Amino acid sequence: MDLPFDACARDGYVALLEVFTTDAIGIMLRALKDQLPVDDAAVRSCEAVYAARDLLRLCPAVIDWWRKPVLRDFVCAVLGAEAGLVRGLLFDKPPGQTWAVPWHKDRSIVIQPPMRLSDRYSPPRCKAGLWHCEPPESVLARMLSLRIHLDPSTMENGPLSVIAGSHQPGQRGDVVCLLADRGDVIAMRPLIDHSSPRSEPGSTSHRRVIHLEFAADPQLPDGYQWHEFHPVRSASDVQPEAA
C-alpha cells in the first residue's frame, strides 16, 4: 500500500481523508461568512461568496486552521523543512451559479512588486490588488496545494478531475475524478493537469474549498519575493482552535 508521500510523488495528487471534524468545518464556515467582504477580493452572487483571492488577509485564521500534524508533516515530507504557505483562495460552485473549468495547470503565483524585472518570469499583472506572474517551472515543481473540502464534492456539484502523473514532463496517466467528503483534504501538485465540469442542473449543494498553496523555498530566484510566506514549521506549532 502506498504511503501518501509516495502516491503524491508518482501521481501528482493524493487524498487525505477525515482530516477535519464536522465541528471544525463549522467553525471555518462561520468565520468565512462573517469576515469575507463585498469587494473585488471576495466575489459574491446572491449573497453567496464563490471566490476569494486574498484569503489569508481577509480571514487570517486560515493561516493556522490547516496546522494539523498530519498536514504539517505531509507538507514537510513533500517540500522540505523550509516550506511555507504562500497563498490562500476560496472556491465554490453555489446553487444556481455554476461553470466549467477547462484542463489547465496552475502556473501563476502571487508576488511583491519586483524591484527589477527578470525575463525568467512573465510580466507581472495586478488583479484585485495582488501582483501575479508565472515563475520558472522549477519554482512550480517545488510547490504543493492543499484543498480543504468544506462540503462533500460529488458528481452532482462539479468535482475536480486530474490526469495522474501529468505533473511530470512527458507523463500522462488516467483521468481521475476526485470525490471527497466534508473534512477531507486533497493534496496536489500545481503542474498536474486538472479541470472541473459544471454542476448538474438543479444541484442544490455548495462545493466550497479552501485552496492553500505552499512553496519549498522562502526565496524566489532573481530577487523576486513571495507576496507573503508563512513557515510551515512555526516556532510554536500550536494546535489551532478549529482543529
CA-CA-CA-CA torsion for 26, 53, 190, 177, nearest 10 degrees? 50
pLDDT at 242 (0 to 100): 56
Distance, in Å, from the CA atom of 156 to the CA atom of 200, rounded to the nearest integer, reads: 5
pLDDT band at residue 37, thresholds of 50, 70 and 90? low
Who contacts 30 (Cβ-Cβ below 8 Å, separation ≥6)? none
Distance, in Å, from the CA atom of 98 to the CA atom of 96, rounded to the nearest integer, reads: 6
The domain ranges of the chain are: 4-231
pLDDT tens-place string over residues 223-243: 999 999 999 997 555 445 555
pLDDT at 38 (0 to 100): 55
pLDDT at 46 (0 to 100): 46
**Torsional class of 129: left (φ above 0), alpha (ψ -120 to 50), beta (otherwise):** left
Average pLDDT over residues 165-169: 96
pLDDT band at residue 1, thresholds of 50, 70 and 90? low
pLDDT at 237 (0 to 100): 57
Phi, psi of 230 (to 5 degrees): -115, 110
pLDDT tens-place string over residues 75-118: 999 999 999 999 999 998 888 778 899 999 999 999 999 999 99
pLDDT tens-place string over residues 200-210: 998 888 999 99
State yes or no: pLDDT of 45 exceeds 50: no
* Long-range CB contacts for residues 27-30, cutoff 8 Å, separation at least 24: 27/241, 27/242, 28/65, 28/148, 28/150, 28/210, 28/242, 29/150, 29/208
Average pLDDT, the chain: 90
Answer yes or no: CATH 2.40.10.10 is held by domain 4-231: no
pTM for the structure as a whole: 0.92
Radius of gyration for the alpha carbons in the chain, expressed in angstroms and rounded: 17
pLDDT band at residue 22, thresholds of 50, 70 and 90? very high
* Contact present, 173 and 166 (Cβ < 8 Å): yes
